[in-house]
Structure 1
Amino acid sequence: MTEVDDVPGEGLRERRRAHSRATTVDVAMQLFAERGFDAVTVADICAAAQIAPRTFFRYFPSKDDVLAEPARVLAVRLTAAIAAAPAGLDDRQVLTRALRELGEHVVADRARLAVFFRVAEAAAASRSNPFLHLSGRERQLTEQLAARRPGPADWRTRLLVAQSVAAFRVWLDDVVAGTGRDLLAHLDEVLTAP
């Protein structure tokens, strides 16, 4: 779930490393989906991904970190989308636009991310990695929005972020459930609901 093509200007070696890391995540997610998170060892992941344990630990400090990688990538994409928003937009416009962009990525990569969402939901009860929950990123998103304009973030900004992130989570639940709707039109509807 690591984005191999999102590393502009890097050489072949870095692209190969990114590809190997992404493959390791995909293999791990499949193993987690088949056997359950707790039943899969780092050695199992290394064998299936055809990498050495040393290589695994160069990419990820622990098995929990490989589980969190897709969520980390989504969080990085969201942060980048907010940072790239035009200066004249208000907080709501910036956040809606960034979440819409993230939604487009989720839809485009739905098959891979569906595995992650199922695995993360099953493992969530026993895992506490903050990247597994978008709501854990609310404070950081609030601070990022506040940094775009003069003055500190107040409760209104915090509430806007909490509502928007909650709306996105509701939409993700519908994506995982396979509602059969036009997913991006549904995202627009959810993000603009009163």
Structure 2
Amino acid sequence: MAEPEGSGPITGLRDLKRERNRVLTAETAWRLFIQRGYDNVTVADICAAAEIAPRTFHRYFASKEDVIGEPLRYMTSLVSEHIAGAPAGMPDPAVLRSAMHKLGVFVVEHRDWLGALRTVIQNSAHLREGHQGVPPEREQEIIALLAARHGTSGEPSWQQRLQVAYAVTAFRIWHDEFLRGKVLDPLAQLDEMVATIELTSS
């Protein structure tokens, strides 16, 4: 899913192949998790199904749990890229609203896949404990990007921290409701929920 990085034609080609292989390995692992349950799949199973050596798997992922975190990493990168590319004069709440909307579009387009992965996580006691939302370090990245838009040094303000925490929480609640089929007009409801972020800036 992620865009490959490269500094030149040869490196770019190599990175493109590496990223494609990484994605194919992850997709193979997810299929196995969905079919058998996360706890019943080993790295050896993934390697056999993907027709790769264990050393190759560990070149892409530290562990099979690292594969589960891939969608969240990608979704966080969508938000980060959107914030980094937002117009300089756009108010922070508006930037966060548009970033959450973009993320919502991705979720709507990949509902079946994300829903299946959510079921995989819910059916594994081990995963349920460690996948309850955006990791603190990822949230800090988003806060830092929001603060960097203003060109100021030092710690982000409490308002910025609160706005990001609010947006992330609103999105998490919407995401859960949407995947459970409780939302009739998903993007409109997401916009409505995240729009209340203005309350944190008043």
Match of 2:35 in 1: 34
Answering whether residue 184 of structure 2 is matched by residue 187 of structure 1, we say: no
Tell which deviates more after alignment, 164-173 or 127-136: 127-136
Q: For the aligned residues, what is the CA RMSD?
A: 2.5
Tell which deviates more after alignment, 29-38 or 87-96: 29-38
Give the Cα–Cα distance (whole angstroms) in 2 for the partners of residues 129 and 101 of structure 1. Answer: 28
- Structure 1 pair 131/75, CA: closer, same or farther in 2 (3 Å)? farther
Q: Check whether the contact 2:121–2:128 (CA below 8 A) recurs between aligned residues.
A: no
Answering whether residue 4 of structure 2 is matched by residue 7 of structure 1, we say: yes
Q: Check whether the contact 1:92–1:160 (CA below 8 A) recurs between aligned residues.
A: yes
- Equivalent of residue 172 in structure 1, options 161, 175, 188: 175
Q: Which has the larger radius of gyration?
A: 2
* Count of aligned positions: 190
The structural deviation recorded for 1:165 is 0.5
Alignment of 1:1-194 (within 5 A): 2-3=1-2, 6-7=3-4, 11-123=12-124, 125-127=125-127, 133-134=133-134, 136=136, 137-149=138-150, 150=152, 152-179=155-182, 181-193=184-196
Q: Check whether the contact 2:121–2:131 (CA below 8 A) recurs between aligned residues.
A: no
User: TM-score, with normalisation over the residues of structure 1?
Assistant: 0.85
* Percent of paired sites with the same residue: 43
Give the Cα–Cα distance (whole angstroms) in 2 for the partners of residues 184 and 80 of structure 1. Answer: 20
Gaps of 5+ in 2: none
Q: Check whether the contact 2:34–2:116 (CA below 8 A) recurs between aligned residues.
A: yes
- Structure 1 pair 79/116, CA: closer, same or farther in 2 (3 Å)? same
AA paired with 1:93?
Answer: A
The structural deviation recorded for 1:19 is 2.3
The structural deviation recorded for 1:30 is 2.1
Give the Cα–Cα distance (whole angstroms) in 1 for the partners of residues 92 and 129 of structure 2. Answer: 27
Residues 25-70 of structure 1 deviation map (CA, whole Å, 9 limit, x = unaligned) = 1221222223222221001111122222121111111111111111
- Structure 1 pair 131/88, CA: closer, same or farther in 2 (3 Å)? farther
The structural deviation recorded for 1:128 is 8.7
Give the Cα–Cα distance (whole angstroms) in 1 for the partners of residues 168 and 183 of structure 2. Answer: 22
Give the Cα–Cα distance (whole angstroms) in 1 for the partners of residues 130 and 160 of structure 2. Answer: 21
Q: Check whether the contact 1:33–1:115 (CA below 8 A) recurs between aligned residues.
A: yes
Q: Check whether the contact 2:79–2:100 (CA below 8 A) recurs between aligned residues.
A: yes
User: TM-score, with normalisation over the residues of structure 2?
Assistant: 0.82
AA paired with 1:7?
Answer: P
Residues 65-112 of structure 1 deviation map (CA, whole Å, 9 limit, x = unaligned) = 111111111111111111111111111111111111111112122222
